[in-house]
Amino acid sequence: MAMLMDGPAAWPVGDAGAEMYALVERLYPVCRSITGDGVRRTLDIVGEYLPLQVHEVPTGTPVLDWTVPPEWNIRDAYIADATGRRVVDFAASTLHVVGYSVPVSATMTLAELRPHLHTLPDHPTWIPYRTSYYAPTWGFCLAQETLDALPDGEYRVEIDSTLADGHLTYAEHVVPGRVTDEVIVSCHVCHPSLANDNLAGIAVAAFLARALSERDPWYTYRFLFAPGTIGAITWLARNADRIDRIRHGLVLACAGDRGPLTYKRSRRGDAEIDRVMAHVLAASGRPHRVVDFSPYGYDERQFCSPGFNLGVGSLTRTPYAGYPEYHTSADNLDFVSPDAMADTLAVCREAFGLLDRNRRYVNLSPYGEPQLGRRGLYDSLGGRSDAKQAQLAMLWVLNLADGEHSLLDMAERSGLPFDAVADAARALHDAGLVKP
């Protein structure tokens, strides 16, 4: 079967940046956690952009070494002073309540309340983001300046929440490819109003899926929208029979800030996705960093746990916990930009375009250099400004087309652009000199 490559990956960006930003704006007010109606509402909105298969996994389900927790939902929460004025109000910011807080209805003094209050003294106008998923407790997050202004006295404390048997919710979108080997793209959907740390990643993932669906990709692309840690663990536990299909993967997060791109290698360190991302970033001329794997970060640490050891890396702009605004109210709609999200999307498209075209070929005339002129291959280069490069690329492909070297191997060894090597392979294939 002739496995012809696509041409150079060239998805027009168009207004993708503005559209992704609009999606982040819509998602921003929703209160998300690792379970609950906020996750469902988030997936409902993403589902307006691309079809999703939504999965509900019951509380108590064993998933690897974990158990699906009770479902948490919250309707209202506040701290009110003696006049009834809400000095801390969940309606003003979803960050004001510690995630998974148990219900509370009480009157207490400021001294009694203080152990349940969380602030950032170094950033007195910011609200921190705090959670307590697996220890039953409650709390409020507020600006230090708000706390400093509270007089002694009694306060009414209300958290209208429920922790009950329910479900963990996640969703998938699959872009069918020409083969059933899969590339998994994962983003987390469990944070409340944090624009960069999860919403930008969700938006980039959704628009990447849409772009891939408009092509005829080689690989099957599986997009996973799931709560962090427990969501990835649940997916892995429920898809043990699919793991051997996963050839490559990418975790998307912190995709919209103005910092340079950072790629974190998989645990393997030399997986094909690691090499592809490093090549694309270097060839693009963008400011960037490529860093080694560590078991700290996002869900790459689940996919790269030693039992699975999948070739899954992570793409961010400023990495996990690497900016002061991380997990605070300063990670807001002003912190992310359409241009940054568009740039992240463009790199993903370039990388997957290369990944889809990275084949191994066999030279059908391996004894001596075949005569290219009589096959019209030199003539086809006439007048091209890159004729010398194109000719050199053909020679490299012919020399390394031994079934062991991929096109990326050839590009790296020759120092030539991947597209030049891929074009040469296509021309040689059409001339009957190489085959997949």
Q: Enumerate the known binding-site residues.
A: 191, 197, 327
What are the φ and ψ backbone dihedral angles of 395, each rounded to 5 degrees?
-65, -40
The whole-angstrom separation of Cα 318 and Cα 348 is 16
Residues 6+ apart with CB under 8 A from 281: 261, 263, 288, 290, 347
Rounded distance between C-alpha atoms, residue 392 and residue 415, angstroms: 11
Residue 213, exposed/middle/buried by CB under 10 A (0-12, 13-18, 19+)? middle
CA distance 420 to 8: 9
Q: At what angle do helices 272-284 and 407-414 cross, to 10 degrees?
A: 50
* Chain length of the chain: 436
Cβ neighbours, 10 Å, residue 388? 10
Largest CA distance in the chain: 94
CA distance 156 to 339: 44
Q: Which two tokens stand for residue 147?
A: 């706390």
Q: Which residues are annotated as a binding site for Zn(2+)?
A: 191, 197, 327
